[in-house]
Structure 1
């Protein structure tokens, strides 16, 4: 229940960062990471779920308050045959420093049957998060929403007036990738590798990492084209193998078309193409990725490759094939486009890393690996020789 002596602040889009669209629901505000027109062109339930999970989305406001309450309606995932997933984490930062972490009980339940490919939704109650003991005085507060849990914002209360935080004036980094970029198995919303890299380099993150959804969809390319950005990166590969979506013949023109579309809106913005990180099950074996039924029988989630290496001859994609082709695609384009760059994803997570920090489920990095990838991306992309090294502070361009 809310505390009676707190001031209620109307939730508006001006209090949100990192969302490309906001839907007003019967309960409050639902942040989206794809605009409504793009969502209307999507028919995939997995992508619909992923884009509504607010990875990188945060409330940002200035206040003297020492106590803040946030009512939320989360949607929690339950996977048939697997152990319960941990609740999503909300992280409160004051002037950029982490101060509190909280989770929300209750909420809607989304039951996913991976073997049948079905989704079942059951409604549930909202929850109240309380953050107390904040230092007195004017400060900038951010509440990062769970990267892996759809969250409707119902009400915001504080013991002092709240106003939108001023524009920080930082460069805007727009990133698109798979569930790894989305933050699967990260410790919290500020600990996904893109969030860590953004924190280390002082840029403003807009994360279009979409679990299972980095599939070269034209509506995603147009979203990147239209979104304000000073820096853009696209991480391409693993989901195309996961889904066994296309063959090499379709992949090459699809990548060219994707990059062409982004360039329509950002002709000179630094654009970094990142190939897949190491994933041993798919380095030389095509997809699709399927749940390991023996692991499910033991209450664990693990993935295996259902393809066969010999199928590469018929044009099936593996991560090795994709890396070679991405490098071949980017090289001549970069000769004409000095702002286009390529990064081999194995520089973020390679063979030595896999030996030390293996992927727990065969596909996704753990929290320690997210930290390592974030630190490495910061050094490789923003370092002296990186794609983003020479970009000066400037207003975000459309």
Structure 2
């Protein structure tokens, strides 16, 4: 800690945080969650438990004259056996909505994951400190976006001037649910995951329920969305259902209807956008399950492959092509009674020509440049003035 600053410690409470649905008190501080406690109690999937605790879209939002801010956190860093080391999570600073700095936190706990064995080992580690200095000496809105891909416990917040909750900017709240692509996969930082970028371009406040491996039409996720105040709602689904080989066509349609019905219980007239999967060549015609490519791991690269057989589609197994057709059919059917539901083909966000120019590095997840492309296109197609999705909000 720098003694040249006269630090003021401010308790972190829900009024200083946006993007989280729940805050858990831990031995160290507060752990933001993107699913409420009731949903977490009903979940038995370790992958989803890890994903929802990673604070994609969660940020501290303050009003202050402070020229320096410190944040003590306890991150959990992931290590994948056989894969290259992952970079530390990134914290990004915005001042009055403009980028003003980025940094990481050293230390923290470690979660070592062996994808070939399906095991994970957690080793506790020390708290680290993040510091941003040189902020303008005037009243301003300060946002610290937490790493989108690191579970992060908030231990302490310090500043060299008092802080207070930022005021309501009058923005519409956009509630979004999706897979690891919506979670942020390999985005450059928390403000440039495609949903965060689209929200910034569209002038809306984001609540991101994108969960790596966890967009599986779980009823408890639908109930969480039902109970979360929002002006705009989008559901991007399909890729995890395929790569988990979770269900057949007979179950998929009713599951989608049930998920949307639950959302509509809490948001009967809010604009609701159903987004089908972006292009993913390995699963366009080939069902799951998806598996790690052992040849890639042997060469130090994490890559995925589809292990199903295209002929199995005749027996109801799902490919992305099948899912896109079914989602389009479902939205068309529901639109007869629901004028506020809309459909967006995910290939309008990332399609065949994009895959040639910006191929998915691990065959499943977009990189930083592709996140920017998807975010810009979503903002233009769904969040720009005149969009049918935005018009009813």
Residue aligning to 1:382: 383
- Cα drift, residue 391 of structure 1: 3.5
Unaligned runs of 5+ in 2: none
Q: Deviations over 1:176-224 (max 9, x none)?
A: 0000000000000000000000000100000000000000000001011
How far apart are the structure 2 equivalents of 1:344 and 1:166? 36
Matching of residues 8-157 of structure 1 within 5 Å: 8-157=9-158
Residue aligning to 2:160: 159
How far apart are the structure 1 equivalents of 2:269 and 2:2? 49
- Cα drift, residue 160 of structure 1: 0.4
1:343 aligns with 2:355: no
* TM-score between both structures, scaled by the size of structure 1: 0.97
How far apart are the structure 2 equivalents of 1:289 and 1:189? 26
How far apart are the structure 2 equivalents of 1:296 and 1:129? 33
Unaligned runs of 5+ in 1: 393-398
1:206 aligns with 2:219: no
How far apart are the structure 1 equivalents of 2:212 and 2:143? 24
Q: Give the conservation status (yes or no) of the 8 Å contact 2:202–2:384.
A: no
The alignment yields a C-alpha RMSD, in angstroms, of 1.0
- Cα drift, residue 335 of structure 1: 1.5
How far apart are the structure 2 equivalents of 1:72 and 1:79? 22
How far apart are the structure 2 equivalents of 1:60 and 1:186? 22
How far apart are the structure 2 equivalents of 1:272 and 1:184? 22
For these two proteins, the number of residue pairs brought into alignment is 392
Matching of residues 366-381 of structure 1 within 5 Å: 366-381=367-382
1:321 aligns with 2:291: no
C-alpha change, 1:165 and 1:50, in structure 2 (3 Å) is: same
Q: Give the conservation status (yes or no) of the 8 Å contact 2:245–2:288.
A: yes
Q: Give the conservation status (yes or no) of the 8 Å contact 1:272–1:387.
A: no
How far apart are the structure 1 equivalents of 2:91 and 2:237? 29
How far apart are the structure 2 equivalents of 1:386 and 1:362? 31
SS in 1 for 2:56: coil
Which moves more between the two structures, 220-229 or 5-14?
5-14
Which moves more between the two structures, 212-221 or 108-117?
108-117
* TM-score between both structures, scaled by the size of structure 2: 0.98
How far apart are the structure 1 equivalents of 2:173 and 2:383? 13
How far apart are the structure 1 equivalents of 2:34 and 2:305? 29
- Cα drift, residue 167 of structure 1: 1.8
Q: Give the conservation status (yes or no) of the 8 Å contact 1:90–1:146.
A: yes
Q: Give the conservation status (yes or no) of the 8 Å contact 2:59–2:146.
A: yes
SS in 2 for 1:389: helix
SS in 2 for 1:370: helix
How far apart are the structure 1 equivalents of 2:316 and 2:213? 21
Q: Give the conservation status (yes or no) of the 8 Å contact 2:342–2:389.
A: no
Q: Deviations over 1:110-150 (max 9, x none)?
A: 11111111111100001011101111010110000000000
Residue aligning to 2:333: 332
